[in-house]
Every structure is written in C-alpha cells, then in structure tokens.
Structure 1
C-alpha cells in the first residue's frame, strides 16, 4: 500500500501541486523574435510533460495578440462542460459510493494531505519529501483503521509462526546479531501491516558491542525510532529476547548500563499511542533475523 500511496503522491506533487512562481504569463513571452518557441524558456517554467506538449503546438507566423478561448474538440467545435452537481460534496458522494469503505477512507485521507501540502508550499514555502508525506498518509490511515476495528492486545504469547496484526495496526519485528570477526552488531527491523505488506525496514551496524542484552535493546530502539520518526501507530513490537521485553515493560527507573537506552525506548513508545511490546519465538521472528545478518 505504501508504494501505491507514494506513486499517487508523486503524480500530484509533480503536477497538481505545481506552484507558479513568477514565470511569463502570456504566450508571446515564450516566443522568439522569429516567432518560434523559446525551447529553453518553455522547459524552464513547465514540467517535462507539459513542455513537450506545448512545443508540439505550431505557432503563428504573424505577430498576433494573445487571446483567451474555450477549448475545442477535434472537429473545432467549442463545448463547455456542464456541472451536474451543485457542490463538490454532491459530486463526491457517488464517487465514494463506488469504492470500498477502506479505499474511500484512503482516498479522503490522500486528498486531505495533498491539500495540506499544497497550502504549506504555497503560503509557507515548506516542502515535505515524498517519503515523509507517504509515511504521514500511511500513519493516519492506520490510525483511522485502528479506530474502526476492535484492538487486540496480546502480551507474552509465543507464536511459532508470524501472524499479521489487526486491521489498522502495524507490527514491528526486531532482532540483533553479533559478528565476532568484526566485533560489530547487525540490527534488523521490519514493519508490516495487517495484509503482511512491508511498510518499513531498517538494517544497521553498530561496532564494539557484544553483550546480548545491549544488542536487543539497540534493535528495539531502532524499531521505535523508525516508527516515531514518521509517527506510525499503533504498533505491536515483537522480539525473541524475553529479557529485553520484560525489562522494557517493567515500571520504575532503570539504573543499569542500558538504562538510558530503555528510557529512549519508553519515551518513543509513549508517543506511539496504543503500542506495546511482546515476546515471540525465534521462528516467528525469522524476517528480522535474516535482516540483521545483512
């Protein structure tokens, strides 16, 4: 789903969200003295698709004033489009009726975020990256779906196989492995939605760490950091290290060497509403185990 959202946003950000910032307004300004298109200027002020279409339009061989006209069809007949609905809501209602409830929700969320991004660009001069916007849409969609479906909280269940989270939830599996030859640690995190689709992945290496508890704690922090960065929630975190799960879920101040790491995890968990940690078997954590090897 994330890939679909990213592609949709890419089309909008390169087209519908294009903001005119001071280019020439009239056709005559894009013509050279010999009345041919100024190719450089056209390509400077229009995106590639529009520029190529403009350059295919034959220009007049006479110096003529610009004029505003209704667009005509292939036969040269001028037509106007008639609005059959009195408002945008009247038009939107039957469109949404053709979509499933989930797709209708996703469509409205996409439109809302596109409008917000358009306003930020136009009025504040702020530009969010495509990945950031896609993750924000995904996060809000998952949060919306979590409200629509009853939550399922299972702590301490030891599944022999990976199971998807409830609709509207994400599941993050994390693990770490020690490489004695390089004295480094490989950390793997994979985040998936209720359909099993991968939403995010982290593969990283940390040097000079050999304690198993430290390895697992760093893996948990990497997982929380990824989801906290993009505000994705709620999340069911899973790990095959029972000691780390028990320690992180415990209350009170932790004054051990890993105390600060656990504090980081708790702080980020607090911002991920409804999220929790649970222990699973090694077999149910295979994808994260494979990631940390790389």
Structure 2
C-alpha cells in the first residue's frame, strides 16, 4: 500500500479487489487510462522483484525509489519506440529496436565503450533466445583506450569467441557499428591496421556456416550498450551473469514486450 499510494490518483483512490490477480488486472484495465495501466504493470513487477530480493537477503527498497525506477523505465521505453522509422524504410535490414531472432536461433548483441578519463575500454555482450529471454551476458574492461573502430571490432571478436566457447551453431551477431558490420561481411581483404582483427572474425565465421553479422541502430542495442558503459566505468576484469542486475533486466523485459514491426 505504501507503493500504490505514491502512484496516480486513480490507483490511490480506487480499490481493485477480487479472488485472484486476473480480476484485479481486469478492474485496472476497465477503469484506468493507458498510461495508468503502464504504471500499474511496472509497479506490480517492481513490488514482486523487491519481495524476491528481500527474501534472498537483499535490502528493502524505499517506495519512492520503486516509483522513480518504474517511471524511468516507462520513459526509456517511450523514447526507444518514438524514433521508429516509417514503414517504407527498410526496417527489417536496419531495425530501430531489438527484434528476436528466428526460432531455433540465438542473438548476440555486442557493444564497446571508451573511458578516456580512466583509460579503459569496456565491452558488453548479451545473448538472448527467440523469445527474448536472456541466455548469457558478459562485460569486460581492458586497460587502454582503443579507437572507436578498433573497440567495436574487438568487441565483435570477443562475441564470436564467447559463442564458440558455448558450442553454439545458429547465432545472429548484432551491433550498432555499421562500419564494423560492413567490414566483417565484405569479401574484400581489409588492408588497414585493423585487418588482422577482421581476418580473425572471418576465419571463425567460416567454421560455422549459420553464423551471421547484422547491423541495428543504437536503440536496438541498449542492453549491450549499457553493459559496455558499466564495464568501462567500473574497470571490471570480467563478469559473466546468467542472472542480470535489475537495471539490465528492465531493459531486456521492455524489449521483450515491445510491439512488433
């Protein structure tokens, strides 16, 4: 009740009761606006997560913090979906949001971030299945600041090695660096200083015929982007997590329920 009383006036003043949660939800859908329904869903999920964290020895988060986290998540979702391209643009080739791979495939999103002030480069890897569920995630920071192109290609190589270590055969690698994806998919030999990294990636791809690289806009690569920034900011050696932190779970959850193209 401490959490609900901080929500909208409709949620504060209305009493939704019933023998089961389904009827409570039906009451909310009948009496609340779309924005209020979003707030109800977000707060209900936050209450459940807070309960689980307390049961397993975590701290009890203040109701005002739950409300702020929920409203921030809703705002991020609106920002992510407000920039979708018109239907006539090739959205399938260059989507503006995260889209699940085909059934039987996995999608590996990767990204890199630079921390010039502390002298670190961070990498974020997020592996999900065709339902959008997290399979594995990893963030790594390395000393030294690479060039943007070098960081993105190094992150792509790390993603390939990570999937190879898991023995995966059907993987779509997706990143928001158009130049890196184009270099990897090109049939022309890369004669630049980063050519050896591109060669290593192509060699690994030849060993698994069903691996492919695709480009996505930044809004469709948020989970990996946030992990790479976390790694660059906190200089972590390597963190692999099957159970992601709350802030990453929120992004993955929102991308799962985002409307289809």
Q: TM-score, normalised by structure 1?
A: 0.46
Partner of residue 190 from structure 1, selected from 109, 113, 126: 126
How far residue 183 of structure 1 moved from its aligned partner, in angstroms, is: 1.5
- Counterpart-to-counterpart distance in 2, 1:221 and 1:156: 24
| Cα distance change, pair 164–214 in 1 and its aligned pair in 2 (3 A) | same
How far residue 198 of structure 1 moved from its aligned partner, in angstroms, is: 1.3
- Counterpart-to-counterpart distance in 1, 2:208 and 2:138: 18
Per the alignment, residue 251 of structure 2 pairs with none
Per the alignment, residue 283 of structure 1 pairs with 219
- Counterpart-to-counterpart distance in 2, 1:173 and 1:206: 19
**Count of matched residue pairs:** 141
**2:186 is aligned with 1:250:** yes
Q: Which runs of 5+ in 1 are unaligned?
A: 1-153
How far residue 264 of structure 1 moved from its aligned partner, in angstroms, is: 1.2
Partner of residue 170 from structure 1, selected from 81, 87, 106: 106
Q: Deviations over 1:13-59 (max 9, x none)?
A: xxxxxxxxxxxxxxxxxxxxxxxxxxxxxxxxxxxxxxxxxxxxxxx
Q: CA RMSD in A?
A: 1.7
- Counterpart-to-counterpart distance in 1, 2:100 and 2:114: 28
How far residue 157 of structure 1 moved from its aligned partner, in angstroms, is: 1.4
How far residue 229 of structure 1 moved from its aligned partner, in angstroms, is: 1.5
Contact kept? 1:156, 1:278, Cα under 8 Å? no
Between Structure 1 and Structure 2, whose CA radius of gyration is higher?
1
- Structure 1 runs of 4+ with >2 Å offset: none
Q: TM-score, normalised by structure 2?
A: 0.52
Q: Deviations over 1:98-135 (max 9, x none)?
A: xxxxxxxxxxxxxxxxxxxxxxxxxxxxxxxxxxxxxx
How far residue 214 of structure 1 moved from its aligned partner, in angstroms, is: 0.4
Contact kept? 1:171, 1:238, Cα under 8 Å? yes
1:118-267 map, 5 Å? 157-267=93-203
Bigger RCO of structures 1 and 2 (CA < 8 A, at least 6 apart): 2
Q: Which runs of 5+ in 2 are unaligned?
A: 1-89, 231-261
| Cα distance change, pair 171–218 in 1 and its aligned pair in 2 (3 A) | same
Contact kept? 1:155, 1:277, Cα under 8 Å? no
